[in-house]
Structures are given as structure tokens and as C-alpha cells.
Amino acid sequence: MGSRFACPNCGEYRFPGFKPHRCPPQWRVRVPEDCELYSGVEEANTVYARDAEQAAEKFTEQWDFDDMLTSETLTVEVAPLLDPDTTQRFTVGCEWLPHYSARIVKDVKDE
């Protein structure tokens, strides 16, 4: 179920009262055949993103949803939807960020 504030096209959040939403450009992203993690799927996916780098990151986040690239990177090719001859190649990795939290166990009084 989508959010009522998410754009139905690109999925970005838009909030009432702010400037009108405009979807970012569309990019075609695919895993090339010479990549170790190539799955045999030739067809590229369409991704909405500000630039080619963000398109590579968004695609990889969706592609690697369950596994989390831990020590590997994924090579992807990205091209603007309207200019498929302008292809760039990226390697995308996943970083684990530590999160610390504390909760009180008991109060310690001055002795």
C-alpha cells in the first residue's frame, strides 16, 4: 500500500503546501553481462533519479533488497532514458552503519 504523499510515478514524497512536485529524470539501469553477479536478464529497469549515480544506487538497493551486498560490489550500466547512447558504468556497494542505543537498567545512587 503506497503513501498518499508518494508520487504515483516516481515514488518520491511530495507534501501539500510545498512547491509543486516534478518527477526527476528517468534512467535505464542494467547489470552488464561481464559482471560476476549477472543474472541473465538483458532488459534494463527504468529508475527515476536526479543523476546517473543516484540511479545506480536506487537500482542496486532494489536489486539487492534481501541480501545486502556485504563484501562485494555490483557493476551496473546507466543511461538516460532519452539518450541511451550515453552510458556510464558504476560499481555500487553497500555500507553497514552501526547504531548504538542505551536504556537504563537501574539508577545508581551516590554512596
Model pTM?
A: 0.72
DSSP alpha helix (H) spans, 13-108:
52-63
Query: How high is the pLDDT of residue 43?
Result: 73
| 51-66 per-position pLDDT tens digit | 999 999 999 888 776 6
Q: How would you class 36 by CB atoms within 10 Å of its CB: exposed for 0-12, middle for 13-18, buried for 19 or more?
A: exposed
The pLDDT value given to residue 26 = 95
| CB burial of residue 54 (10 Å; 0-12, 13-18, 19+) | middle
Predicted pLDDT at 28:
93
- Residue pointed to by grid coordinates 536504556: 103
The per-residue pLDDT of the chain, averaged, comes to 81
Structure confidence by residue, pLDDT tens digits, 33-46: 776 666 666 678 89
